[in-house]
A and B are shown apart, each in its own frame.
Chain A
């Protein structure tokens, strides 16, 4: 025990070099302390991570290994280990399936549409809020717009239904005025607009908070110096505010890119009946219905696995790209 304490004291204090985990000048120290000593020293630390690691192994890693059924004609009765192997058959079926292709197309359409019409909204709103001078007004509005982020999708869609549905508040007003009630909650042609406005209503506040946090790190002296040098408010925004937001914008773009194959599963699942399967089918809902509903397990797992692999490649690729352009990205190279 005393040896362990001494060794720890001999180690450079970890807090003195934050983020320097990759460059610990540890080798001589490690050689001096045996594995057993280190284990004894750090036993309690290891025990503390154990419950979380166990949960991840059981509920994340074993299912990951369960993806082997993508190469099987899986049946729940024969199980993971005894179902017949079919090679790449399931993958071939996925690729030649027009419904899957349709689901991929829908997914990408929604992603691109939301990237154009949803992604800039929190940025603009954050700039707007940032220009509000009264701290009290600013925090109240922030608190209000952030609230729906904590609502469930069921609640959000029910709220939309009560406002914009055929029997909702706005339809009531229209009907009272002798007009036709709204049909946007069930109309496939305005569906992209509908789900994007739902996403904005629910999550734009979350984005605002992140961007405002980024803006709060800007030294006010920069604005003052720029103003003294004759820069107007728009030029200050262009040259100070926007550059301060850039790393966060890039970070969120990367995360969005990695997520581009998963669009609002619950949101679409919940509105499938109202709007129709053809328009709302995305990769995730397709996988769910093929597997859990129709029992084509191997096929559904193959489709899901491909999505997972492509998403992983997308996020790693985007991160690489960010590094190439000299940005921090999601994680640092170490």
Chain B
């Protein structure tokens, strides 16, 4: 593959993301649509052939991906944005506050008070997020079973599980590990 073409395509990502976000109003769905567009573009380099402006060509592909996302979205509730998660990172995706180490976490497992804090933190998760997380981590179900049960796609499922883990670690940090 032509590396020069790849970097030119990659350089259009921020523009495409703004374009998709404006129409989908959902960051995760917009990121998915853009990712699919870039993959399709790189696979179909020959289709471009320098005939038109690269951005115009990419936007053309993205439009189809957005329509797909909207159609899919009408069947599935959109993933609402998670402000608490967004606040952990700056615009470049770097930590705003570097996560501290936890002191002897395994010792906490023997501590009843820790288990009480853990349960409180789990109760604080949004309902669907908590269900996905407990099905995965407590019951040990595979993602595809969880998706079927909750009526969501696997991508949505991974997003929920990521959010659950990030929210839970923040909660445990604030209410337990920082106090030790």
* A and B: bona fide binding partners: no
A residues with CB within 8 A of B: none
Give residues in B with beta carbon < 8 Å to A: none
